[in-house]
Structure 1
Amino acid sequence: MTDKVKTTAGPVRLTGRLICRSACDIEAVRTHLPQHIRLTRAEAGCISFSVVQSEDPLIWHVEERFVDMEALAFHQQRTRASSWWTATAGIPRDYEGVGVD
């Protein structure tokens, strides 16, 4: 997984890809994604959260915005303790993050 986040005060945006390697990976994403989206959007610091399958069914585009780095850290901690993470931890991710004015 590639994670590059420039630390700044204020809102944080992450963009990237979830890169499935097989039909099993795609099924794991499809099965667990609805709850992952619902829980993430319910987090107090979440501004927006989107995971959309691309034209290539193996690639999912991810767009996340949080009010600050603390909210992002909470999201990452919660996610790593979730069924989403258990089911998708082996799927490569490629993210970049930046502060947003």
Structure 2
Amino acid sequence: MREIRLSGQLVCATEEEAQQVRKHLPEHTRLTRAEPGCIAFDVAPTNDPLTWSVNEQFTNRNAFIAHQERVMSSEWGRATAGIERRYSVDELAR
């Protein structure tokens, strides 16, 4: 199986959205890094206070799909559902 890498940006439209990201990101990061198959998970602020850089890597597609499913029903998922995501997902040869 191939590793999965997601990279891109989380782009807030308002300061209120950015506040939701700042509020929920620490727990979302903790939970994601504890997931089976998570190799790397980094969400970092950029020079734009409404934009975060996102980099995720999972051992395989199944681990990535399990992460996506967990996120959809999580507090993070609900709090940030309307925030724009500009992501690309790539499969990496091992």
Name the TM-score, length of structure 1 as normaliser.
Answer: 0.90
CA distance in 1, matches of 2:73, 2:37: 18
Q: Which amino acid aligns with 2:10?
A: L
Correspondences of 1:66-77 after superposition (within 5 Å): 66-77=58-69
Partner residue in 1 for 2:24: 32
C-alpha distance after superposition, 1:69-101 (max 9, x if no partner)? 000000000000100011000001011011122
Partner residue in 1 for 2:54: 62
Out of 63, 84, 89, the residue aligned to residue 92 of structure 1 is: 84
Partner residue in 1 for 2:12: 20
Q: Which amino acid aligns with 1:73?
A: I
CA distance in 2, matches of 1:63, 1:35: 16
Partner residue in 2 for 1:6: none
Out of 39, 55, 70, the residue aligned to residue 78 of structure 1 is: 70
Q: Which amino acid aligns with 2:14?
A: S
Gapped regions of structure 2 (runs ≥ 5) = none
Name the TM-score, length of structure 2 as normaliser.
Answer: 0.96
**Identity across aligned pairs (percent)?**
45
Gapped regions of structure 1 (runs ≥ 5) = 1-8
Count matched residues: 93
Out of 2, 6, 14, the residue aligned to residue 10 of structure 1 is: 2
In angstroms, what is the RMSD of aligned CA positions?
0.7
CA distance in 2, matches of 1:81, 1:87: 10
